[in-house]
Structure 1
Amino acid sequence: MTKKNNTPQYKIDGFRGIFIYLFGLSGIINILALTGAFYMMQIYDRALTSGSISTLVALSILAIGLYLFQGFFDIIRSQILIRLGARLDVELSPLAHKVVIEMPRYGYSTSEAMERGRDVDTLRGFLASQGPIALFDLPWMPIYLIFVWLLHPMLGMLTVGGAAVMALLTIVAEVLTRRHSQSMVKASVARNSIVDSNARNSEVLHAMGITQRAVERFETANRRHLECQTTTSDIGGTLSGLSKVMRMMLQSAILGLGAYLAIRGDLSAGSIIASSIVTARALAPVDQAIAHWKGVVGARRSHNRLTETLAVLNDTSRHVELPTPHESLTIDNITTVAPTTGAVLLSEVSLRLNAGQALGLIGPSGGGKTTLARSMLGIWPVLRGSVRIDGADLGQWTESFFHQHVGYLPQDVALMDGTIADNISRFAELPDARKIIRAAKNAGIHEMIVHLRDGYQTELGPHGTSLSAGQRQRIALARALYGDPFLIVLDEPNSNLDAEGEEALTRVIAKVRERGGIVVIVAHRPSALQAVDMVGLVQNGRLVAFGPKDEIVQPTKIRPLVVDKTATPNLRAMPAE
């Protein structure tokens, strides 16, 4: 996604203060973790040698108190991490979902976009796991190493050597897991893309008998994903097993060396037990970190992706609220490229429409009409040039401008899961019933809606598939008309309409013009041009003709238009003979 020079609405670095607090809390916990070692030293070296029951009881009470404090702080740390994950989800999920919505405009697949939503889940799950606890404990390992060294330098050297080997295993886990983890993510995206495509095209797959082939494609992608996942898990499991073996061997080696030193009189019996306990505690965070390293790598990858993608969100906090548009739409020498390939789809297009005008865009399929319509609304950002409404570039208008003053009917009609009223009102928090009904009447669909069992409260379900294509298109047209927007862009608005629907569309365009709005229509069927006064011929990515309808379209009987593909800017669209 193309970065913009503005400040993101939220930064993950906002949690830095909490992490510093947790780091300090981890220091207290790790100091209290020495309780067991000190207790064993005092039991073996003081209570047993003196035979004092009171000393044993006092030491035990003190140890119990310190253990309770350690457990209390450990619970606090765990609960803070869980709530930190929940807070992160609350604050980041809406922004991540906005990225999910925006990414397809830049050529990303739906599966790639959905990964950003899953990144928030990954971070929340990681914070609730043992992974962060291991990472917070790792920096405090020197406390234990110093303790063992003070007991005897030879024990300290052995513990440091073991810690170095464990650290090396951690580095190996990082290198190997990161490389295979990237492959697993790519394989997961590829698999999910096939799942999404198969689900969206289920009718075609069934009708054309290619369901089995679709399943085979999924099976191939799923097998690749499983191979990558198995490899990654094997690496993590192998290194985790090695770390456990190393930790047990080192703990036994400490006991053996301690016994040797005790036999020589250089170490007490209590120190042998204490050194074994402390060594195990010192290496436990490394062991846990290796076991959870797959989660560490995944969380870091999710953090980096969220940081990068959130940085491209528009910061509208500094936008000045501009007056309600009422004058013009100006397209100034724009060039638009395909988000996925970078191929130039539209080149050096300029035009101007004033309030009360309606433009019909005609031309051959693939000529650039839909691209021009998308560029007008900023759906596909322009590479060069500008789109201005009342003289202000689209980037100067807030999101509320598009909600209130723009209507759009896409070529592929998509209704959202909700009621008819929800869809027409664009899911407004406080929908205006009068505006909903007026938009439905203008689209010529009010009578159809009220004859449904639940009327405007009829649930459409996913994609509105319970309705016919024509009904969905007219509801989408009503949605575009809701609130009497200033600019209305309709891409093939009559592709699924009957004669009655086309008459309603013609009336809609006339009414918008009468109230001073601007309408842009992408059309293949000439009946959609009856109420427009301006026509533009888009061919090979260029606006080769633009002007009053009577000058661009020959005033003959309305017939399907055939465009001469060798046309120059002075040639007209000619009716079929």
Structure 2
Amino acid sequence: MLQVYDRVMSSGSVTTLVMLSLILLLAYLCLVGLDMVRGRVLSRAGIRMDTLLSQRLLLASLERPESRSQPLRDLDTIRQFATGGGVTALFDLPWVPIYFFVLFLLHPLLGVFALCGGVVIGSLALVNELVLRKSLSEAGDASNRNYAFTDMSLRNAETVNAMGMARNLIVRWSDDRNLMLHGQLKAGDRGGFISGIIKFVRMSMQSLVLGLGAFLVIERLATAGIMFAGSMLLGRALQPIEQVVAHWRSFVSARDAYARIDRLLAAVPPERQGMSLPRPSGALSVENAVFAAGGQKPILKGLSFRVDAGESLGVIGPSGAGKSTLARLLIGAMPPTAGFVRLDGANIAQWPKSQLGRYLGYMPQDIELFPDTVAANICRFEAGDDRLIVEAAMMAGVHELILQLPQGYDTRVGPAGATLSGGTRQRIGLARAVYGLPNLVILDEPSSNLDTAGDLALKECMLRLKDHGRTVVVISHRSATVTAVDKLLVVKDGLVEAFGEREELMRRFLSPQANSRPNIKVIHASQPALPLRGAE
């Protein structure tokens, strides 16, 4: 425009006009091409970032299950911001000083006027950050709680519908939902008000700069071309600032998501690939194990016992005694607050989880199957040997039940195994635990959903594991479940109440008048921790 007004209009040269028009079209073509390239680069950078972080975040979420799927949603938020208009506006910000510099070259007054406008809009952007920070943060926290509550409600949909809890649950669900909407509404109103002021300032300055340019032309301090060029350059200089403010909510969401991911990754460092340890024999020992969650009252208070390789141990005790917490310590899901859990003499924390998993079988209280085939669930999604899958199912006594399914082992189960009965899910979970004959098998309340046939199959499975020299730990509050074990551990209030041979302890606790024998160690809360060996 500067050249058109200063050269073409004064000379009347059509050739110059045509050449300037072609140069302008070429410049626009380059600009559009560079924008396209930038968009493609940002899209691929977002996918690359997702590829690098998604698996690590999933592993960290498995270590911290209370985070649920929030880290992956946070990663999606960051990726969407990185490939959207917000980050493009940030990349355009470095050009703002260049535009101001060119305006100073055109005329110092134009440069000062543009710089003052930039300061005003920048100050409004800072006010926008201060005003929206609290509202957006509260809305984000409420949104996370609301989604977590929704996930939990959907997972327990049968209970909700059966017990008529839906109406009351919706009232509870609406609390966080309304708080989220209120925070977003407040942020939207305030952000919209400030964005409107910024837009008013920018449009006013683009018009006022024409008046300033006209004044310079009247005073013969500038040409008409400088007047129009100054208006265009000022618009280009202020546009990135306005766009940054317009995308500020997405920027704040991405910043908060990054902070949550950073905290999670700092709390769960990547697994060290240390030296591989040989396959364990299954000797398990617990030395003065204490566990307290988040600085609260200890759940376990100095447990000590030992199980030799090939032995089976039953852990019994009342509800709330700490049995399931002990199970999580034994599989390495949670480190003890104090003390040690050792497998073949090595601290279980020293075992890489990818390696330990091959030697460990675990059956939790609540069996949840993944939305895939029965065979895939049993073989733990490995490229499994069909023979090993069938052997695990037969050992768990579920082979015949699986064959009765529509596609047998290839039957796909719904989320959490919703298409299967509770007993069938539990027996498939048992088959998954014994797949590949792991050296240490931990069963937490394995008979809670089993019928008589299932109980018999469980006992037969435990005996077959013992025949193969595998160490088995069965945790239950039912004494009938532990009739096939070698040793018995009685836990009460997080303490070892008794530990020894099963027959002796069963006789003692089921027949209070029977005489105890010397190889029984009974421990009370006032006594010191039990030594590693139960027999004395």
Q: Give TM-score scaled by structure 2 length.
A: 0.93
Q: In structure 2, which of residues 471, 474, 477 is the aligned counterpart of residue 518 of structure 1?
A: 471
Contact in 1 for aligned 2:288/2:529 (Cα 8 Å): no
**Correspondence 1:309 to 2:264:** yes
Alpha-carbon distance in 1 for matches of 2:102, 2:475: 78
Q: Does 1:290 align with 2:245?
A: yes
- Partners of 2:321 and 2:494 within 8 A in 1: yes
Does the alignment pair 1:94 with 2:94? no
Specify whether residues 113 and 453 from structure 1 end up closer, same or farther in structure 2 by C-alpha distance, changes over 3 A only.
closer
Give 1:548's aligned residue.
501
1:78 corresponding residue in structure 2 = 39
In the alignment, what sits opposite 2:369?
A: 415
Q: Please name the residue that 2:356 is paired with.
A: 402
Matches within 5 A, 1:169-208: 169-208=124-163
Q: Between 247-256 and 505-514, report the one with greater CA deviation.
A: 505-514
User: What are structure 2's unaligned runs of at least 5 residues?
Assistant: 513-521, 531-536
* Aligned match of 2:387: 434
- Aligned equivalents of 2:268, 2:302: Cα separation in 1: 27
Q: Are the counterparts in 2 of residues 334 and 349 from structure 1 also a CA contact under 8 Å?
A: yes
Report deviation, 1:308: 2.7
CA-CA distance at 1:316 after TM superposition = 3.5
2:14 aligns with 53
Structure 2 partner of 1:37: none
Q: Which residue of 1 aligns with 2:106?
A: 151
> What is the CA–CA distance in structure 2 between the aligned matches of 1:567 and 1:393, rounded to whole Å?
28
Is 1:44 the equivalent of 2:5? yes
Which 5+ residue runs of structure 1 have no aligned equivalent?
1-39, 105-110, 572-577
| Equivalent residue letter for 1:208 | M
Aligned to 1:472: 425
Alignment partner, residue 254 of structure 2: 299
**Does the Cα contact within 8 Å between 1:545 and 1:569 map onto a contact in 2?**
no
In structure 1, C-alpha distance between the alignment counterparts of 2:223 and 2:123, rounded to whole Å: 32
SS in 2 for 1:538: strand
Structure 2 residue aligned with 1:14: none
CA distance in 2, matches of 1:548, 1:269: 103
> Which residue of the partner structure matches residue 380 of structure 1?
334
Identify the match of residue 443 of structure 1 among 371, 396, 399.
Answer: 396
For residue 332 of structure 1, give the secondary structure of its aligned residue in structure 2.
Answer: strand
Cα separation, partners in 2 of 1:570 and 1:326, compared to 1, 3 Å: closer
Please tell me the residue identity of whatever aligns with 1:538: V
Identity of aligned residues (%): 40
SS at match of 1:554: helix
Query: Is the CA contact 1:151–1:275 (under 8 Å) kept in the aligned structure 2?
Result: yes
Deviations 1:53-101 (A, max 9, x none): 2222222222222222222222211211111112112222222222332
- What is the Cα deviation at residue 263 of structure 1? 0.7
- Displacement after TM superposition at 1:496 (Å): 1.6
What is residue 65 of structure 1 aligned with on the other side? 26
Instruction: Identify the residue that residue 527 of structure 1 maps to in structure 2.
Output: 480
| Aligned-partner SS, 2:365 | coil
Moved more, 418-427 or 235-244: 235-244
1:186-335 correspondence runs (5 A): 186-335=141-290
Q: Which amino acid aligns with 2:73?
A: R
Q: Say yes or no: does 1:135 pair with 2:90.
A: yes
Q: Taking structure 1 as reference, are residues 366 and 267 closer, same or farther at Cα in structure 2, changes over 3 Å only?
A: same
Q: Deviations over 1:191-221 (max 9, x none)?
A: 1232123212222222222221112222232
Please report how far the alpha carbon of residue 557 of structure 1 lies from its aligned counterpart in structure 2 after TM superposition: 7.4
Deviation of residue 556 (structure 1)? 8.8
Task: Give, in whole Å, the separation in 2 of the partners of 1:59 and 1:298.
Answer: 45
TM-superposed CA distance for 1:452, in Å, is 2.1
> Which residue of structure 2 lines up, in the alignment, with residue 355 of structure 1?
309
| Counterpart Cα distance in 1 of 2:338 and 2:477 | 28
Q: Assess if the C-alpha contact under 8 Å between 2:302 and 2:529 holds in 1.
A: no
What letter matches 1:97 in structure 2?
A: L
